[in-house]
Structure 1
Amino acid sequence: MSQKAIVIGAGIAGLAAAVRLVNRGFKVQVFEANAHPGGKLSEIQHKGYRFDAGPSLFTLPEQVEELFRLSGKSPEEHFEYLKLPVACHYFWEDGNQVKAWSDIKRFAEEVETKLGEPAENVRKALKESAFIYDHLSPLFMHRSLHQLNTWINKEALKSYLKMGKLGIFSTMHKANEKRFEQSKMVQLFNRYATYNGSNPYETPATLSIIPHLEFNIGAFFPKNGMHDITLSIYRLALELGVTFTFNAKVEEILVENKKAVGVLVQGERQEADLVVNNMDMVNAYKSILKKQKQPKLLLNQPKSSSALIFYWGIKKNFPELDLHNILFSDNYKEEFEHIFHKKSIYHDPTVYINITSVYKPDDAPEGCMNWFTMINVPNNQGQDWDSMIAEARKNIIAKVNRILKTDIEPLIEVEDVLEPRTIESRTSSANGALYGNSSNNMYAAFLRHANYSSDIKNLYFCGGSVHPGGGIPLCLLSAKIMTEMVE
Structure 2
Amino acid sequence: MATDDTVAVIGAGMAGLAAAVRLAAAGYRVVVLEAQAEPGGKMRRVEVAGHGFDAGPTVLTMKWVFDALFAAAGRSIDQELSLVPSTVIARHYWRGGAALDLHADQQETIRAIADFAGRREAEGYRRFAADSRRTFEVLKDSFIDASRPNPVSLSRRIGLARPGALLAIKPFATLWSALGGYFADARLRQLFGRYATYCGSSPYLSPATLMLVAHVEQEGVWTVQGGIRALAQRLAALAVELGVEFRYGDAVSEIVIDPSRRAVSGVVTRTGRKLDARQIIYNGDVAALPRLIGVPPPDPVRAQAQRSLSALVSCSLAEPSGVPIAHHTVFFSDDYEREFEAIFKRREAPSDPTVYLCAQDRDAAGRLSAGHAGTERIYALMNLPADGDRRRFHESEVSTCLKTMEHRLELNGLTLSMNPTAADITTPDRFATLYPGTGGALYGMASHGWMASFARPGSEGPVPGLYLAGGSVHPGPGLPMAALSGKLAAERLMADRPLTRRSLPAAITGGMSTERVNAGASPSR
TM-score by length of 1: 0.93
The match for 2:490 is 483
8 Å contact from structure 1 (residues 313, 413) kept in 2 = no
Deviations along 1:224-280, one digit per CA (max 9) or x if unpaired, are 211112111111111111100011111111111221111112223210130010011
Counterparts in 2 of 1:59-74, with a 5 A limit? 59-74=61-76
SS at match of 1:358: coil
- Whether 1:49 and 2:51 are equivalent positions in the alignment is yes
The match for 2:182 is 179
Instruction: Please point out which of 350, 355, 359 is paired with 1:351.
Output: 355
Deviations along 1:153-185, one digit per CA (max 9) or x if unpaired, are 554446655222212111111000111121111
Amino acid at match of 1:84: S
Change (3 A) 1:254 1:384: closer
The match for 2:198 is 195
8 Å contact from structure 2 (residues 362, 369) kept in 1 = no
The structural deviation recorded for 1:3 is: 2.8
| Alignment RMSD (CA, Å) | 2.5
- Whether 1:442 and 2:450 are equivalent positions in the alignment is yes
The match for 2:168 is 165
Instruction: Please point out which of 417, 420, 427 is paired with 2:428.
Output: 420
Aligned equivalents of 2:337, 2:133: Cα separation in 1: 26
Instruction: Please point out which of 262, 280, 284 is paired with 1:279.
Output: 284
The match for 2:36 is 34
Amino acid at match of 2:276: E
8 Å contact from structure 2 (residues 14, 479) kept in 1 = yes
The match for 1:430 is 438
Change (3 A) 1:39 1:365: farther
Aligned equivalents of 1:206, 1:239: Cα separation in 2: 39
The match for 1:102 is 104
8 Å contact from structure 1 (residues 115, 184) kept in 2 = no
Instruction: Please point out which of 298, 309, 312 is paired with 2:316.
Output: 312
The structural deviation recorded for 1:419 is: 1.2
Q: Sequence identity of aligned pairs in percent?
A: 29
The structural deviation recorded for 1:200 is: 0.5
Deviations along 1:274-307, one digit per CA (max 9) or x if unpaired, are 001001111121x211x24767799676110111
Change (3 A) 1:263 1:160: farther
Change (3 A) 1:147 1:3: farther
Gaps of 5+ in 1: none
Deviations along 1:181-206, one digit per CA (max 9) or x if unpaired, are 21111111111000000110111111
Deviations along 1:442-466, one digit per CA (max 9) or x if unpaired, are 111111112112x421110000011
Instruction: Please point out which of 136, 143, 146 is paired with 2:146.
Output: 143
Counterparts in 2 of 1:39-438, with a 5 A limit? 39-116=41-118, 118=120, 119-146=122-149, 151=154, 155-157=158-160, 160-215=163-218, 217-256=219-258, 257-265=261-269, 266-285=271-290, 287-289=291-293, 291-292=294-295, 302-315=306-319, 320-359=324-363, 366-380=373-387, 382-383=390-391, 385-386=393-394, 387-406=396-415, 408-410=416-418, 414-428=422-436, 430-438=438-446
Which stretches of structure 1, 4 residues or longer, exceed 6 Å deviation after superposition?
293-298, 360-365
8 Å contact from structure 1 (residues 278, 461) kept in 2 = yes
- Whether 1:17 and 2:22 are equivalent positions in the alignment is no
Change (3 A) 1:301 1:6: farther
8 Å contact from structure 1 (residues 423, 429) kept in 2 = no
Aligned equivalents of 2:413, 2:29: Cα separation in 1: 54
Change (3 A) 1:243 1:356: same
8 Å contact from structure 1 (residues 8, 278) kept in 2 = yes
Change (3 A) 1:405 1:152: closer
TM-score by length of 2: 0.86
8 Å contact from structure 1 (residues 171, 202) kept in 2 = yes
Aligned equivalents of 1:241, 1:158: Cα separation in 2: 47
Aligned equivalents of 1:465, 1:95: Cα separation in 2: 37
Change (3 A) 1:267 1:363: farther
Aligned equivalents of 1:367, 1:413: Cα separation in 2: 16
Aligned equivalents of 1:64, 1:170: Cα separation in 2: 31
- Whether 1:3 and 2:5 are equivalent positions in the alignment is yes
The match for 2:475 is 468
The structural deviation recorded for 1:363 is: 12
Change (3 A) 1:329 1:284: same
Aligned equivalents of 2:204, 2:158: Cα separation in 1: 29
Aligned equivalents of 1:341, 1:143: Cα separation in 2: 33
Deviations along 1:344-396, one digit per CA (max 9) or x if unpaired, are 11111000001121039689964331110001111016346224322111111
Gaps of 5+ in 2: 497-525
Amino acid at match of 1:182: D
Aligned equivalents of 1:296, 1:212: Cα separation in 2: 37
